[in-house]
Structure 1
Amino acid sequence: MTSHVISYGDAVNDALERMDDLGYERGAQGDLANHGPMGAEALAVMGHGEQVAAWVEGYRHAMPHHEPPAPRFALDPADEASWRPALGTFNRAGDWERLFERELADRPWRDVLARWWGRLLPGTLAGLTHGMIRTAHAVRGLAATPHPSAAQLTEFARGLAYWAARYTGLPGEAAFQGPYGTQGSPGSGRLADAVAALPRRPMTAHVTRGGAAERLRAVDEFAGYREALHALAPADPQLLLSEMTAEFAGIYLAHPEVFPVPLIHGVTAPAAARLVLPHLPAELHTPTLAALWQVHVALLLAFTGDRQHEEAVAGTARETPVPAFDELAARALEHQDEHVIKFTEACIREHALRPDPRFAAAVLAAQQRIPRR
């Protein structure tokens, strides 16, 4: 008896329909992002389309989600005085979703993306970068078909709406040292050197979820924060994205003492941005990289207290026995946790573009550190 092979598109659309009633967040504290659409899409990309429906049902029951927010007051996308005050106001999430639904009814999705990506970039930290990441997973689905389904367009609207409703700005503004192709001072302008030069504030105790949020809010008080925002020299965006993902895969690997989820986003956020860049105007590429670097600086200061093991992590990764990526993908499905699934898919994709042993070693570490569902 032959098994029925479910295509990527069919698996994604079925998953989105099964999760249509889930709100933007879940959990007792109410600010854990809904990972269902992202996890299902990543599983489908890794070739596990036949298992997506079962995974979705398990995800739905693992933790209660909040009700989808109802729209209250219309937002006018053409009037900045209407929409800008609603940025970062989570009780307007339903209004944001309705705004993007109207936008998508009137114009192609790429036009909506180009119009709003730059507006939302300063708030990239939204939901610990899940606004950008959810949007990017939706974009990959849209780009895979000439005729997007209603469910796919709704998911795209919800990705943007979550980004807008949880919009979180950081103090200061990241900027590269000079025009593309030049290098200024201080510092070498290289990502790895900028990471190494960033002072870390020692952790006085294990940082809880609330403590990490407090450190993020106080990031401007950390030594080196403002200087780091201008530490990078311009580079080809695709190359810089690869440097970001490889460097932060190593940082994840180097910090087993940290709660094992937040630093994952140092990889999944730039990997998500890579999915979107081909659909954006070129003038938005460099601002996207700058916004990601600012988030990286904040994550390092909030979640790491030293860099003791970061110097040797490349060697550690080379010496770590790791399974092949096909096996890691199968283990991610068996593991079931949505963070593991998304991280595994992102690292597989990034390694294929620019091989680095830190990717596989970091995936193996995440699969061991994060509890199975």
Structure 2
Amino acid sequence: MDTGILDEAYRRLHHTGPEFDGWLSNHGPMAVEALVRHGHVGRVHRWLDGYLRRLDERPRGLRPIDDWREALGDPKRAGDWLGYFERELRERPWREVLGSWWPRLLPGIAAGATHGVIRVGHAVRALLDGEAGQAGESPDRRTELGQALGYWAARWQPVPGAGPLAGRADVVDALDSLPRLPDRTGGIRDRLSRLPDVPHWSDALTAPRPARIPADAQRGLTALVHRASLDYLRFGHENPVMLVHAVTAPTAVLRTLPALDPPLWAPSLAAAWSATAAVTAVYAPAHPAGAPAVQPADPAETFARAARHGDEHVVKLADAVLDSHAATGDTRVLAAAGYAGQLI
């Protein structure tokens, strides 16, 4: 992984805010991390040249965060949260900060249409890769983790009805049995607010069996990402952009596990499941489409096509399905990235 290019890209992006044009998420840090990781360093700055023109400046703070519970989920405090985590990560090791805040933020996994956790997952992976290459204490990578955590805190939002898993189903069967939101009007916040009115929603959301040991959580997350990737091929046509997050949100949680204490793994599975379930319920149709025609490709070419396409969602989905392919060996998941490239 090219540390220099990634850190340069982070420095360019850290003058921008976590959102733009209202509350669209800034995908820049996530996309450049994926491009660098998969060897497309030559595209990074050219891609950023275009993307940066769309972004807003970093928001200014109103006042320091004193009572974090009171400020959690208040988007007007985004600048304050960015400053808070900037200070935290100057004063404490990044793993310590992450370990303290992960269980506080996890119940609000729907934050920013799940982009809070997704951005954290990319930032943690960059730090872990840096540690392996003796560059883990890069100030730019720590800054990126702080901005990711700050965004998550500012947009903190629970999935309605989420809680501990209490059923007996595996996540694949539970995903197949999810009810669908009948009223598809409005954005994700409007749709999530209507989920409690969906018959059997609360039962469906707690249907998977809980992880009894940390390894169960890792296996459950791997299965969830795998099935969500295959489901994109069946349902992606309905909302090609938003259904990407049914895959990328649990992928981000899975990537973060190695930096977390094992007792945090089981609640991480439960939260990731709730995110994928919610995105699926409010955006996926009740009936799948026929199998799409996607030209097959190996993992390297799958990502290369996404990089050439250039859309940030296509890049991030390709990155996620490559992880799923590496974990499961199932080549079918690679087609999801090509399908997203057709649809978006």
Q: Letter of the 1:295 partner, please give it.
A: A
Q: Deviations over 1:204-233 (max 9, x none)?
A: xxx46x254422111111112100122111
Q: State how 1:224-373 maps to structure 2 within 5 Å.
A: 224-235=200-211, 236-306=216-286, 308-309=287-288, 316=291, 321-370=295-344
Indicate conservation of the 8 Å contact 1:71/1:94, yes or no: yes
- 1:20 is displaced (CA, Å) by 2.4
Indicate conservation of the 8 Å contact 1:174/1:293, yes or no: no
Q: 1:102: which partner in 2?
A: 87
Q: 1:55: which partner in 2?
A: 47
Q: Supply the distance in 2 between the matched residues of 1:92 and 1:329 (Cα, whole angstroms).
A: 36
- 1:201 is displaced (CA, Å) by 4.1
Q: Deviations over 1:118-142 (max 9, x none)?
A: 0000100001111111111111122
Larger CA deviation: 168-177 vs 35-44? 168-177
- 1:259 is displaced (CA, Å) by 2.0
Gap runs ≥5 in structure 2: none
Larger CA deviation: 320-329 vs 337-346? 320-329
Kindly tell me: are residues 198 and 256 of structure 1, through their superposed partners in 2, closer, same or farther at Cα, counting changes over 3 Å?
Answer: closer
Q: Letter of the 1:292 partner, please give it.
A: A
Q: Give 1:121's match in structure 2, choosing from 103, 106, 112.
A: 106
Kindly tell me: are residues 9 and 324 of structure 1, through their superposed partners in 2, closer, same or farther at Cα, counting changes over 3 Å?
Answer: same
Aligned length: 336
> 1:214 and 2:194 equivalent?
no
CA RMSD, 1 decimal: 1.9
Q: 1:3: which partner in 2?
A: none
Q: State how 1:40-189 maps to structure 2 within 5 Å.
A: 40-61=32-53, 63=54, 65-76=55-66, 82-145=67-130, 146-147=134-135, 148-177=137-166, 188-189=168-169
Q: 2:178: which partner in 1?
A: 198
Q: Supply the distance in 2 between the matched residues of 1:286 and 1:158 (Cα, whole angstroms).
A: 25
Three-state SS of the structure 2 residue aligned to 1:75 is: coil
Q: 2:7: which partner in 1?
A: 13
- 1:320 is displaced (CA, Å) by 5.6
Calculate the TM-score normalised by the size of structure 2: 0.92
Indicate conservation of the 8 Å contact 2:160/2:196, yes or no: yes
Three-state SS of the structure 2 residue aligned to 1:140 is: helix
Q: Letter of the 1:170 partner, please give it.
A: V
Q: Deviations over 1:150-183 (max 9, x none)?
A: 2221111100000000101122333223xxxxxx
Indicate conservation of the 8 Å contact 1:133/1:268, yes or no: yes
Larger CA deviation: 323-332 vs 261-270? 323-332
Indicate conservation of the 8 Å contact 1:122/1:291, yes or no: yes
Q: Supply the distance in 2 between the matched residues of 1:69 and 1:142 (Cα, whole angstroms).
A: 25
Q: Supply the distance in 2 between the matched residues of 1:362 and 1:198 (Cα, whole angstroms).
A: 21
Larger radius of gyration: 1
- 1:202 is displaced (CA, Å) by 4.3
Q: Deviations over 1:83-102 (max 9, x none)?
A: 11111111111111111122
Q: Supply the distance in 1 between the matched residues of 2:179 and 2:122 (Cα, whole angstroms).
A: 34
Indicate conservation of the 8 Å contact 2:15/2:58, yes or no: yes
Calculate the TM-score normalised by the size of structure 1: 0.85
